[in-house]
Amino acid sequence: MASIALKTFIGLRQSSPENNSIKISKSLPTNHTHRRLRINASKSSPRVTGRNLRVAVIGGGPAGGAAAETLAKGGIETFLIERKMDNCKPCGGAIPLCMVGEFDLPLDIIDRKVTKMKMISPSNVAVDIGQTLKPHEYIGMVRREVLDAYLRDRAAEAGASVLNGLFLRMDMPKAPNSPYVLHYTSYDSKTNGAGEKCTLEVDAVIGADGANSRVAKSINAGDYEYAIAFQERIRISDDKMKYYENLAEMYVGDDVSPDFYGWVFPKCDHVAVGTGTVTHKADIKKFQLATRLRADSKITGGKIIRVEAHPIPEHPRPRRLQDRVALVGDAAGYVTKCSGEGIYFAAKSGRMCAEAIVEGSENGKRMVDESDLRKYLEKWDKTYWPTYKVLDILQKVFYRSNPAREAFVEMCADEYVQKMTFDSYLYKKVAPGNPIEDLKLAVNTIGSLVRANALRREMDKLSV
Amino acid sequence: MSMALFSSPPLHFPSLSPPKPHLTHKPFLPLPLKKPFFISPKSIDDASSSAAVSIEQEKDEGSNGVLLNSNGSSPAVVAGAPVTETEEVRKFQDARWVGGTWDLKKFEKDGKVHWDSVIDAEVRRRKWLEDNPESSSNEDPVLFDTSIIPWWAWMKRFHLPEAERLNGRAAMIGFFMAYFVDSLTDIGLVDQMGNFFCKTLLFVAVAGVLLIRKNEDLETIKKLLEETTFYDKQWQASWKDETSSSSKDS
């Protein structure tokens, strides 16, 4: 099933990098073909006179940064509003290899190149994954404050105005095509502390303001189920740090998290130890303690330098756009299940949304409307829905119970699985698998599941 | 009951006495030989009690020191160790757990590995770990892999007792279906074999017996179906919104 679903996925992926280069340099031909294919709303929508289209991007994370850059490059007057320019969001900070290429990231913002992963099962069976990686392949670990600042700076370079401000609310337009009025508190240089109330008129809004999105609230986007992620940054001695030089650890088990995993990720000069859960949020401290205990022999003697917690969306919001307001990144809810990955998808969705606006407005010359933004949503769902669905299935099958997790770890010991996992993670596309290997894998996995569950039943009998 | 038979060597047969109290209220059974025939449907209902028997037996074996080392005979023994020791070590300990795996030599009996006790030992270890999660360590890795236990050992222990029950059910359902079809339609058993409708019925019966083993299974299957489509619904919400809002607009 996965291979069928992912075939469409590959086709789309290949086309997307071409598209954005075309769009920026010579957008007219593509627009023509589009116009012939379907009703293009921008044809009917009025021209913007005397100025270019104005778009505000709320939130300066990877999604906001990427969106603002693409908008500004596409000839749109862009405003990026962010309150905390040095915000270090609690975040694993792992980015796939393809993001480095697609977003042209310089290598010096990557703190660590992780080439080895260890998965540790509830009964402490440890499996090394990553032997199948080629020499140039790695998972990049970044600090969010560095990555976010870099993307914002690039947006500013491209011509976006970056405003230090706190977005408060926005007034919806009364008449069609009239502007949105954003209210925000500006903290620009003049005053320390006390901000200044400002308003800003824009034609469209991209909400990239994360899980507690105010933009989402103002368009009644509805809520999503969220997981809480808890993370402690621990500074450990140099000889212990050596072990984590290019290695990340994943712990699974009911003690660590009933529906997610616990992790130890290497950071620039410390490790991040954390865990997450949706179903038992009240017990998060207990799970964190258990994660620390499971990693105890490797981090013992470490000093906790920072404790963080953050909500992680589980699924997209019921409404991701309304009229000329669109949500991207965490605000929309684009975090995968199973791995909990969100940076790449945030940046990608920001860019995709911005592309849709640039295209729909013919480089800022025309007004946009909902149908233009719908194109972003359509493309997004078509491109990434299979990825999300596969990860959802994986999570449901393998994070279900301890025996399932044992089977998961057993499965990950297989080299074929590792190759497939890393290929799909690093490049966000899946090479069609070998059917014989697939079959072998299926049989082995079912075998592992059956064995582990048989043991589980005996364990239950013991406790009765 | 049947499980106890498989998991225990024949020389322990006398210790099967615990289930006897169940049967003593049937004094009209004079011949012990006939017992298995009469109680077979009952033993199906009493799957849990038979499990209790097999566990009890293991404990007996442990205390006798026939198969197990007194150290790891039961979790109770480990938990009963001096407090100071558990606090210091906090690790699973068993004489047969050597270098991160079960030392199969210590499970040997008559020159062959007694796989059932390996399974029992691993069950205890996992249970212990679940109650006392242990720090993972690179110096002392866990190497034991359940796949070293041959498939027939799993089969013998977990599938056969179940298979007997399923077989029995399938045979009963098949027999009565054939009977009813025959009585209702006058198609004989032989003719039924060539009939498409009857073949489908057979297929449905077998699938049903395999899928629905307990009453709760029905509920579980329903929940699973819901679960698989739940995420799809969450994603499609924004598209439903579009159709409803556009229909309102137009």
Question: What spatial distance separates the first Cα and last Cα of chain A, rounded to whole Å?
Answer: 40
Q: How far is B137 from chain A (nearest CA, A)?
A: 6
Residue of B nearest to A371 (CA): B242
pLDDT at A82 exceeding the cut of 80: yes
ipTM reported for the complex surpasses 0.90: no
pLDDT at A354 exceeding the cut of 90: yes
pLDDT at B72: 37
A296 touches chain B (CB under 8 A): yes
pLDDT-based confidence at residue A10 (cuts at 50, 70, 90): very low
Residues B92-98, mean pLDDT to the nearest whole number: 82
CA trace torsion A191, A195, A196, A199 (10° rounding): 140
Which of A254, A377, A392 lies closest to B231 in CB terms?
A392
pLDDT at B86 exceeding the cut of 60: no
Residue of A nearest to B129 (CA): A123
Which of B126, B137, B227 lies closest to A459 in CB terms?
B126
Closest CA to A369 of A189, A177, A236, A186: A177
pLDDT at A23 exceeding the cut of 50: no
Coil, helix or strand at residue A134: coil
pLDDT-based confidence at residue B142 (cuts at 50, 70, 90): confident
pLDDT-based confidence at residue B129 (cuts at 50, 70, 90): confident
- The residues of B whose Cβ lies within 8 A of any Cβ of A are 48, 51-52, 55, 75, 119-120, 122-127, 129-130, 133-139, 141-142, 144-147, 149, 154, 157-158, 227-228, 231-232, 234-235, 237-239, 241-242
Residues A411-422 have pLDDT tens digits of 888 888 888 888
Residues B65-90, mean pLDDT to the nearest whole number: 39
Residues A308-352 have pLDDT tens digits of 888 889 888 988 888 889 999 999 999 988 888 889 999 999 999
Do A123 and B125 lie within an 8 Å CB cutoff? yes
A431 touches chain B (CB under 8 A): no
Under 8 Å between Cβ of A363 and A23: no
pLDDT-based confidence at residue A192 (cuts at 50, 70, 90): low
pLDDT-based confidence at residue A48 (cuts at 50, 70, 90): confident
Coil, helix or strand at residue A167: strand
Residues B16-29 have pLDDT tens digits of 444 444 444 444 44
Average pLDDT, chain A: 83
Residues B125-138, mean pLDDT to the nearest whole number: 83
Length of chain B measured in residues: 250
What is the layout of strands, in order, in the sheet containing A325-327? A196-202, A180-186, A161-171, A77-82, A54-58, A204-207, A325-327, A321-322
Under 8 Å between Cβ of B119 and A458: yes
More confident residue, B91 or A222: A222
Residues A54-58, mean pLDDT to the nearest whole number: 92
Can you give the pTM of this predicted structure?
Answer: 0.73
pLDDT at A191 exceeding the cut of 80: no
Q: Which residues in chain B are contacts of A456 at CB distance < 8 A?
A: 126
Q: Which residues in chain A are contacts of B147 at CB distance < 8 A?
A: 410, 447-448, 451
pLDDT-based confidence at residue B223 (cuts at 50, 70, 90): confident
Give the max Cα distance, chain B: 85
3-state helix, strand, coil in chain B (%, to 5): 70, 5, 25
pLDDT above 70: percentage of residues in chain A: 88
Q: Which residues in chain B are contacts of A381 at CB distance < 8 A?
A: 235, 239
Q: Which residues in chain B are contacts of A389 at CB distance < 8 A?
A: 231-232
Which of B124, B137, B145 lies closest to A462 in CB terms?
B124
pLDDT at B243: 52
A243 touches chain B (CB under 8 A): yes
Strand partners, A327: A207
Q: How far is B177 from chain A (nearest CA, A)?
A: 32
Architecture of domain A46-93+143-223+318-398: 3-Layer(bba) Sandwich (3.50)
For the ranges A78-82, A221-225, B25-29, B79-83, the lowest mean pLDDT is seen at: B79-83
pLDDT at A268: 83
For the ranges A317-321, A405-409, B75-79, B215-219, the lowest mean pLDDT is seen at: B75-79
pLDDT at A202 exceeding the cut of 60: yes
Closest CA to A121 of A392, A341, A390, A413: A413
Do A126 and B129 lie within an 8 Å CB cutoff? no
pLDDT at B76: 36
Rounded distance, CA B82 to CA B79, Å? 8
pLDDT at B40 exceeding the cut of 80: no
Query: Can you say whether residue A143 is alpha, beta or left, with left for phi > 0 and alpha for psi between -120 and 50 degrees?
Result: beta
Crossing angle, helix A370-398 and helix A2-25, to 10 degrees? Answer: 150
A381 touches chain B (CB under 8 A): yes
pLDDT at A424: 83
Mutate which: B48, B146, B160, vs A, most A CBs within 10 A: B146
Q: How far is A17 from chain B (nearest CA, A)?
A: 25
Q: What is the DSSP letter of B156?
A: I
Cα dist. A301→A320, A328, B86, B132, B217 in Å?
A: 46, 41, 21, 21, 49
For B243, other C-beta atoms within 10 Å of its C-beta total: 9
pLDDT at B46: 41
Q: How far is B213 from chain A (nearest CA, A)?
A: 15
Which of B123, B135, B158 lies closest to A459 in CB terms?
B123
pLDDT at A190: 60
A 307-326 → B contacts, CB under 8 A: 315-321
- Write down the domain spans for chain A: 46-93+143-223+318-398, 399-463
Residues A121-173 have pLDDT tens digits of 888 888 888 888 888 888 888 888 889 999 999 999 999 999 888 899 888 88
Which of B119, B135, B157 lies closest to A293 in CB terms?
B135
Do A451 and B154 lie within an 8 Å CB cutoff? yes
Which of B136, B237, B239 lies closest to A124 in CB terms?
B136
Q: What is the DSSP letter of A236?
A: -
Residues A94-121 have pLDDT tens digits of 889 899 989 999 988 898 888 888 999 8
Q: How far is A277 from chain B (nearest CA, A)?
A: 17
Residues A233-290 have pLDDT tens digits of 999 988 888 888 888 999 999 889 988 999 999 888 888 999 989 888 888 999 999 9
A391 touches chain B (CB under 8 A): no
